[in-house]
A = this chain, B = another copy of it.
Amino acid sequence: MGFVYTDIAVSADGFAAGPRQSEASPLGEIDEGALHAWMFEGYEDNRAEVDGIVDSGSTIMGRNMFGPVRGEWDRDWRGWWGDEPPYHGPVFVLTHYPHEPIEMLGGTTFHFVTEGIEVALERARAAAGERNVSVAGGASTVNQFLAAGLLDELRLHVTPHVLGGGERIFDGVPPQRLERVSVRATPLVTHMTYRPVRD
């Protein structure tokens, strides 16, 4: 069985998104590239980490990561990623509102799970088979998995910016020890991988 991992880009002050997220500013009102420049203009330096993000058999994400629609699904929304999302496999979207699966090009299908993170994980594990399961974000979803002891590996990609507000990693996560698996610094980011220690 694979393990459950998260890759999440965070600022030096731990924010995975800035204040005032909206459809026009999905990551909140922050400087362009403050969180993700390393993935794009820094791709060559960070190839291993970038490619690792989507190297999963299935993916789980929160509804706010999937899109800006809140409450009932009262408009057509198929994710932020165009016709061919980078997941190339099943994606389980956590929501309180049922929705039919949405099949995209390139093998990505968005499934909507209303029964909470344990059920989402069960379905994602079944879909992933021997491969790993990615909990893609946002911070609130990752924090739920951390708090529930369901995450095996947390890969923080720490950028040299202070955002001052927004959605913060570890918020609401109870005290615990981590094992630091690796640290790697490249010009635009510091990659820090942790595993929660199960006592």
Interface residues of A (CB under 8 A from B): 12-14, 18, 30-31, 146, 158, 160-164, 169-170, 173-180, 183, 185, 190, 192, 194
Bound Cα distance from A158 to B192, whole angstroms: 11
Interfacial chain B residues near A158, Cβ < 8 Å: 192
Give the copy number.
2
CA distance A146 to B13 in the complex (A): 12
Q: Which residue of B lies closest to A163 (CB)?
A: B175
Other contacts beyond A13-B169, A18-B175, A160-B177: 16, CB < 8 A: A12-B178, A14-B170, A31-B175, A31-B177, A158-B192, A160-B179, A161-B176, A161-B177, A161-B178, A162-B173, A162-B176, A162-B178, A164-B173, A180-B190, A183-B183, A190-B192
Contacts of A12 in B (CB 8 A): 170, 178, 194
The 4 closest A-B pairs by CB, nearest first: A13-B170, A183-B185, A160-B178, A164-B175
| Contact yes or no, A175 B192, CB < 8 A | no
CA–CA, A18 to B18, complex, Å? 25
User: Given the complex of chains A and B, what is the CA–CA distance between A137 and B87 in angstroms?
Assistant: 44
Partner of A185, one of B163, B173, B180: B180
- Name the CB-closest residue of B to A183: B185
Best-surrounded residue of A30, A162, A178, A179 (most CB of chain B within 10 A)? A162
Cβ of B175 and Cβ of A30 under 8 Å apart?
Answer: yes
Q: Give CA–CA (A31, B158) in the complex, Å.
A: 25
Known: A14-B13, A169-B13, A192-B190. A174 touches B164 (CB 8 A): yes
